[in-house]
Structure 1
Amino acid sequence: MTLYGMIFSICFFLIVSFFFSAHTVDYANEAEISEKISIPIKSAAVSANKNPEPKTIETPELTDFYHKINQTMIDAAKTFNGDIGMTYVDLTTGKQISVNGTKEFYSASTIKVPLAMMIADKVESGSLKWEDQLTFNEKEDYEDGTGIIINNIQPQYSVRTLQEYNITYSDNIAKNMLYDTFGGDVKAKQALYAHFLQKETDWDDAKFTSEDAAKILKILYKEKASNVEYQTIYDYMKNTVFHERMETPTTAGKVAHKIGSYEGFLHDIGILETEQPFILTVFTKGQTDAGIAFISTITDQLWTIQKNNYPNE
């Protein structure tokens, strides 16, 4: 075979091998993979994967204890004439127990807690200052109901004052003026639901589940040790003027909570300071004031179990 013939044979062999090789690139599949990779992943999901919460090994004693908590919640729910959603979180282990935990309720004033947290975040980012003065706009900001601004409306209020009034007095006008810093209540609620719950909401009918509220309170509790403004929000919740629902003679001075009330919707969400602290979020829709008494009763029941029956280490 001539030299040219040998070169031709080698080239022909290489070409045939390339096209029939098992390693030939599937360009259609490659394009599909590239497209999938380009889809943005929510930062919350990424964080959860990188830093998963440690799983607690549940001892038989803890299992029995949680069964008692769960059964107490189930039995209590059966006594309520209306809709109920409850979530308990043991802040020592992270264990969560719910009854109708994914049932949606109109959020009412419970939404003021994550609003305050977002305001604190805006200040920390530098886009807002506590001493900034916000101007009252009657058309956008006036609202009847709870609060003290309504009794003596001033032209301007500092962000710090509005932040305190929003939680301590559940002030509706303060809430609306804080919404203004996001461009209005629509944008504020959209940002709030996306940030804390990674979901959307109908802005004019903002709803929470008891598990939604528990998730928000877990963030507040976890981060308040390193975030002075979250600690301040927690302190406002402890010093609220609403001494009812989760604040009972048993829990007085040992609960940071935020009530919500709108027509038949009567709620409370709180962090209770037993030796092993726990979160409780209760949402109700019933007749007259039935939800108020119900929340107080289940709070005391769970407080007693947590205090007296929590397993020793």
Structure 2
Amino acid sequence: MTFKRLAQHLEQWKREAVGSWGVWIEDLTSAETWTWNETELFYAASIIKVPIMVAVYKQAFAGRLALADEIILTAEDQVGGAGVLQHLSPGIRLSVQDLTTLMIIQSDNTATNILIDLLGTEIIRETLSELGMKQSSFYNKLMIVPAASEGLNMITAADIAQCYRKLARGKAVSHHASRQMVEILKKQQLRDCFPAFLPNNQDDIVGSLPKWELAHKTGTVTRTLHDTGILYVGSHAILMVALSRDCDYHQAQPQISRLAQLVHQAYSDQ
């Protein structure tokens, strides 16, 4: 009954939605889903960093790199947009683990591009395929305009849901690797979308455990705002994907936040 009641609220959200949306909401225990335009392609923006993280762990699991390996930051690596590495001094050494963490929790574009160079395009594409992201594509590094681009980094709500489902179920690379990646996603510092309308977890504690946790990754470019992840409420895990376009940040942000609020309310009211 919980998900059926939630679906009614989601239908109301849909009727009031502004812009174009690709949405996937799924109770990972019951496998009940609510979707909207789930196979429509959207520009990936920083959501592509989630399967790139999986590709890093895949290579580490295969012994082709170590998460402790260190890479020296160069001036040529530094690009704009999100992240702190663009502001730091070239010559510092960062582990692959640190670069991966920065790529996710601060959406650091410099860290992302270093990892893309380390992995190579084909490994990332292979990872998309292995995750079951059949419609999605990877072509380019971030914040760089290639001289001759083959295409754009694209995703669908269904594809990114498949990625998160494997992470949640311990089937992305390995159970241990999946758990590590989910823990990185829980440390997300960009919290203006899904978490914006959720209760403050510092004030929402049962015993020593928070009532809810969120493992997620945002993405934004001009007139495109996404948030994607897994909301843990009590014993429930709910997969949430919200991809948008054709609406500005100030239109999309409250709609994404409201979506997560509806999911949280449905499961916390039990």
* Bucket of the pairwise TM-score, normalised by the shorter protein: 0.7 to 0.9
Which piece of structure 1 moves more, 248-257 or 238-247?
248-257
Residue 129 (structure 1) aligns with:
66
* 1:109 equivalent in alignment to 2:46: yes
Q: 1:277 aligns with which of 237, 254, 261?
A: 237
- Flag structure 2 segments of 5+ consecutive residues without an equivalent: 140-150, 202-212
> Relative contact order: is structure 1 or structure 2 higher (C-alpha 8 Å, sep ≥ 6)?
2
Residue 255 (structure 2) aligns with:
294
Aligned-partner Cα distance in 2 for 1:86–1:200: 15
TM-score using structure 2 length: 0.82
Q: 1:191 aligns with which of 126, 129, 135?
A: 126
- Aligned 8 A contact 1:258 1:270 in 2: yes
For the pair shown, which has the larger CA radius of gyration, 1 or 2?
1
* 1:145 equivalent in alignment to 2:93: no
SS at match of 2:233: coil
* 1:181 equivalent in alignment to 2:129: no
Aligned-partner Cα distance in 2 for 1:104–1:124: 30
* 1:169 equivalent in alignment to 2:106: yes
* 1:255 equivalent in alignment to 2:255: no
Residue 15 (structure 1) aligns with:
none
- Aligned 8 A contact 1:179 1:188 in 2: no
| Aligned Cα root-mean-square deviation (Å) | 2.2
Q: 2:20 aligns with which of 83, 91, 97?
A: 83
Question: Which amino acid is the alignment partner of residue 278 of structure 1?
Answer: I
Residue 229 (structure 1) aligns with:
177
- Aligned 8 A contact 1:190 1:200 in 2: no
Q: 1:252 to 1:279 in 2, by over 3 A?
A: farther
SS at match of 2:167: helix
- Flag structure 1 segments of 5+ consecutive residues without an equivalent: 1-61
Structure with bigger helix share is: 1
Q: Percent identity?
A: 22
Question: Which amino acid is the alignment partner of residue 88 of structure 1?
Answer: I
TM-score using structure 1 length: 0.71
- Aligned 8 A contact 1:116 1:163 in 2: yes
Aligned-partner Cα distance in 2 for 1:252–1:278: 19
Q: 1:131 to 1:88 in 2, by over 3 A?
A: same
Residue 265 (structure 2) aligns with:
304
Q: 1:229 to 1:205 in 2, by over 3 A?
A: same
SS at match of 1:289: helix
SS at match of 1:92: coil
